[in-house]
Amino acid sequence: MEPVRIGILGLGTVGGGTVALLRRNAESLRRRLGRPLEVTRVAVQDPDKPRPADLSGIDLTTDAEGVCTDPDIDIVVELVGGVDNAEPLVRAALGHGKPVVTANKALLAERGNELFRFAGEKGVDLAFEAAVAGGIPIIKALREGLAGNRIQSVHAIANGTANYILSRMRTQGLEFEEALAEAQDLGYAEADPTFDVDGIDAAHKLALVAAVAFGTPINYDALHMEGIRAVTGEDIQFAAEMGYRIKLLAITRPAVDDGVEIRVHPALVPESAMLAGVEGVFNAVEVVGDAVGPTLYYGPGAGAEPTASAVVGDLVDVARTLGAPPEYRVPYLGFHAEGMREPRWAPIEEVETEYYLRLQAKDQPGVLAQVTRILAEEGISIEAIRQKEPLPGEEDVPVVLLTHTTRERAIRKALAAIDRLDVITGPSQMIRLEEVGTG
């Protein structure tokens, strides 16, 4: 059988892993597909740079657009990253009738609706398993395996770097900056860690997951996003003393009143929760379906061959349906175009959950009475309250509270009032507490 000819744009970590994996597993892939998958051209910025991958028989070029328009290429794999530089390349390939496999979460989170529409007009595939949670096949699970369900919630640890930092803060008693420096030394975090630690990378992934879970257009702008910079070693320690761990979670679920919640933020999870056991750079996604109940998908969220595993999985799918009419393929986001609905994206103030609060207070009589009065006025019920020892060299004391389930609007209003009290000496901390599955 004729080989399926693949052009790859970008030969960084994932590109190199993809070439290596296609070579190493060539025979088993041929058995699965009935045809060989063959990388014939790769576009790179610097063709003279030494590469770890075996590139024999591959045409290395600096002309990325030429790969996208080459009539001898059947499928284009976009691994250059970025939004403005990648979009024209993806459009060029789709415009020339070539399916595209991409790992580019930022591109799809921000321009995905237009790109899927364009791919649809051209009648070609645009596959993106590698864009979400690296090697975990969560897009396929949500789009196909769980298609019989109405999705009730998705809670994901979708950024390995942030998870590594929080894990090290807990196990080694580090502060955020120390754990970040360690993650940078190990090559997990970039010199500019913004995407990972401010929640942007997890948010890009969540925007795609929500669309696939609920059959909505991708709406990155609807997302509420908070990163992990404000989580202190104290918070992690206090949470642990109460039986919780702090994770950066990407969450989407039907909203309490109406619509869909979509949010990325640090959250307390019980230490008995399955997600609490996900440590280091690993990712995990917990999906609850109305029929199946809770399911958990765990694995490496980054890295050369784990991400290449997702790219090659997509290549097999796309190669199987090359030239087939679009109605024979799974829709890009898993829902028929006529079944897609823009929901009401619920604002964060409508979220109902439990809350961890840490206040910095003067150590004098009546402080707790003032705090609890304000919480009571907002109808917030307290589950636990503890005054901690002052930090060395400080007179103020941390006061930690856990609330029962309440509305975020009420918590915000109460905290604003608490922070205005004379006896409160620093800004208060608020971290949501999420109900997730226990093992």
Q: DSSP letter string over 158-183?
A: --HHHHHHHHHHHHH---HHHHHHHH
Q: How far is the CB of 7 from ligand HSE (least distance, A)?
A: 23
Contact at 8 Å (CB) between 418 and 371? yes
Residues involved in catalysis: 205
Q: DSSP letter string over 3-64?
A: PEEEEEE--SHHHHHHHHHHHHTHHHHHHHHSS-EEEEEEE-S-TTS--SS--TT-EEES-H
Q: How far is the CB of 117 from ligand HSE (least distance, A)?
A: 25
Binding flag, residue 160, ligand HSE (CB under 6 A): yes
Cβ neighbours of residue 197 under 8 Å, at least 6 residues apart? Answer: 161, 162, 165, 176, 180, 189, 227, 228, 229
Tokens read off for 124: 């070609």
Binding flag, residue 159, ligand HSE (CB under 6 A): yes
Binding flag, residue 161, ligand HSE (CB under 6 A): yes
Binding flag, residue 16, ligand HSE (CB under 6 A): no
Contact at 8 Å (CB) between 418 and 374? yes
The contact pattern for ligand HSE, residues 176-215, with x = CB under 6 A and - = no contact, is --------------------x----x--------------
Q: Closer CB to ligand HSE, residue 161 or residue 429?
A: 161
**Phi, psi of 132, rounded to the nearest 5 degrees:** -125, 120
Greatest C-alpha distance within the chain: 83
CA distance 44 to 75: 17
- Which window, 155-163, 243-251, 285-293, 308-316, contacts ligand HSE (CB under 6 A)? 155-163
Q: Closer CB to ligand HSE, residue 156 or residue 400?
A: 156
CA distance 215 to 96: 28
The contact pattern for ligand HSE, residues 276-315, with x = CB under 6 A and - = no contact, is -------------------------xx-------------
CA distance 55 to 42: 9
Q: How far is the CB of 227 from ligand HSE (least distance, A)?
A: 12
Q: How far is the CB of 180 from ligand HSE (least distance, A)?
A: 12
- Which window, 41-49, 109-117, 153-161, 249-257, contacts ligand HSE (CB under 6 A)? 153-161
- Which window, 1-9, 89-97, 156-164, 353-361, contacts ligand HSE (CB under 6 A)? 156-164
Q: Which residues bind ligand HSE (CB under 6 A)?
A: 159-161, 196, 201, 301-302
